[in-house]
Amino acid sequence: MRYARLDLVRGGSALIVVAEHLRNATMVDFQRASQSPAWIKGFYFVTGLGHQAVVVFFVLSGFFVGGAALKAGIQFQWTTYLSARLSRLWTVLIPCLLLTYVVDNVVWATAPSVLDGAFAETWHSAPQSGAYDASLATAVGNLLFLQTIVVPVYGSNGPLWSLANEFWYYMLFPLMAMAAAKIGERPTVMRRLACALLAVLVLCFIPFSMLSGYMVWLLGLAVFAARRELVAFMACHFRAAAAGLFGLFAACLVLSRLRIIPGVAWGLPDLLLGSAFAAVCAVLIVPGAQHAAESRFDQFSSALAQLSYTLYLSHFPLVMLIGAEFYRNERMPANGASVLVFTGWLVLLLCVCWALWWLFERNTSVVRQYVDLLVGQVSAARRRSRI
């Protein structure tokens, strides 16, 4: 079952992340725009919600990926699960690492100070001084989702940090669920103990910041697990619940954006925001009446959601290129003309990312078929060798 509203949120969240990075690289900081009209301040507020959008991503990932593993139940198999996950991750990640390599080399040739950290303070998202690393070892580490654990993110592609989080959450939940005998076909005691041990090792291996994010990820899984009960409840109390929950989420969003909630080191602001959005998901998964407009909405939401992964993984080197080539000396002021130019850049980024999606991500199912075929051939060869 597709959830069109969640698809729209997923695609919109990726767009907000791109918008924040692009605005940081092309327009002056909010402090220099404090005397601007209210709509400009609203523009800065919305385009400053990139971190909050990533929190929303984690909740949605728990709902969709964790939910798929939970739904598989006794039919869950690691080979099928890993084939699906790795095919999706690597089909986009490998081309985006190559894109980062190419773009970074262009920036090295024309504006090396960008990668040396000269703009880290003004752009807020450029590589830090002395932190840039585009070595082969770092590329391999990023392919194995070890960035922020063993190696840094590859090159200028800072958003890769969250991909390591996602991957280890993908590993943790099935291990914990199999240890608890919630998925998999009648796991033996030894297999459950092995899964529990592996889960403990993963928990000890990943940094604490990932653990706080995992709690947010599990909130999405909890919504999936209780989706039938939540939909039944919302059918009776939809208007009142929707108004209250959206109001709560908006309040948490503002508090998080203004950095008012304490406990950042422990991930408390993200946990509160994730809890509020998870509650909103209970509203968003309620089926709506189907009509022509709803069908067009579904198509738009699906298209935006399909682009979100490629958009998230590929946009940052391109943003760096725009900033390096056009805005090193002075970023645009906060006014309507600048917002129009910003919009033009954003549309261009969307077009480039759509081309990358068309070349790579849309073929994920084909890649997965090849992976499944290869796994099947390896398994068959092992069985023959045992005879």
180-194, 208-222, 352-366: which range is least confident on average? 180-194
> Residue 198: is its pLDDT beyond 60?
yes
> Residue 18: is its pLDDT beyond 80?
yes
Q: What is the mean pLDDT of residues 289-311?
A: 79
Pick from 161, 99, 100, 164: which is nearest to 134 by CA?
100
- The more confident residue out of 139 and 31 is 139
* 67-105 as b/e: b if 16+ CB within 10 A: bebbebeeebeeeebebbbbbbbebbbebbbebbbebbe
Q: What is the mean pLDDT of residues 54-68?
A: 95
Q: Give the type of residue at 96.
A: C
Answer whether residue 286 is part of any domain: yes
**Contact indicator for 309, 87 with CB cutoff of 8 Å:** no
Answer whether residue 386 is part of any domain: no
- Tokens representing 71 are 């739904």
- The whole-number pLDDT of residue 2 equals 79
Whole-structure pTM value: 0.92
d(CA 260, CA 275): 17
Alpha helices in the chain (DSSP H): 4-26, 38-46, 50-61, 67-72, 78-110, 112-115, 120-123, 136-143, 161-179, 189-205, 208-225, 227-257, 268-284, 292-326, 336-359, 364-386
Cross-strand pairs, 332:
27
> Residue 76: is its pLDDT beyond 60?
yes
Q: What is the mean pLDDT of residues 284-307?
A: 77
Answer whether residue 170 is part of any domain: yes
- The whole-number pLDDT of residue 296 equals 79
- Tokens representing 211 are 């653990």
- The whole-number pLDDT of residue 185 equals 84
Q: Residue 294 — pLDDT band, cuts 50, 70, 90?
A: low
Answer whether residue 74 is part of any domain: yes
Total domains in the chain come to: 1
The dihedral built from the CA positions of residue 45, 120, 52 and 224, taken in this order, carries a sign that is positive
Q: Residue 333 — pLDDT band, cuts 50, 70, 90?
A: very high
Answer whether residue 387 is part of any domain: no
* Mean pLDDT for the chain overall: 90
> Residue 137: is its pLDDT beyond 80?
yes
> Residue 126: is its pLDDT beyond 90?
no
Q: Residue 374 — pLDDT band, cuts 50, 70, 90?
A: confident
- The whole-number pLDDT of residue 290 equals 47
What are 260-281's pLDDT values in tens digits?
877 766 788 899 999 999 999 9
**Contact indicator for 252, 273 with CB cutoff of 8 Å:** yes
Domain of 79, in residue numbers = 4-380
Q: Residue 386 — pLDDT band, cuts 50, 70, 90?
A: low
- The whole-number pLDDT of residue 274 equals 95
Q: Which long-range contacts (CB under 8 A, 24 or more apart) does 42-48 make?
A: 43/339, 44/334, 45/257, 46/16, 46/19, 47/16, 47/19, 47/20, 47/22, 47/23, 48/20, 48/23, 48/257
> Residue 187: is its pLDDT beyond 80?
no
CA 159, 22, 7: angle at the middle one, nearest 5? 65
User: Among residues of the chain, what percentage have pLDDT more than 70?
Assistant: 95
Answer whether residue 385 is part of any domain: no
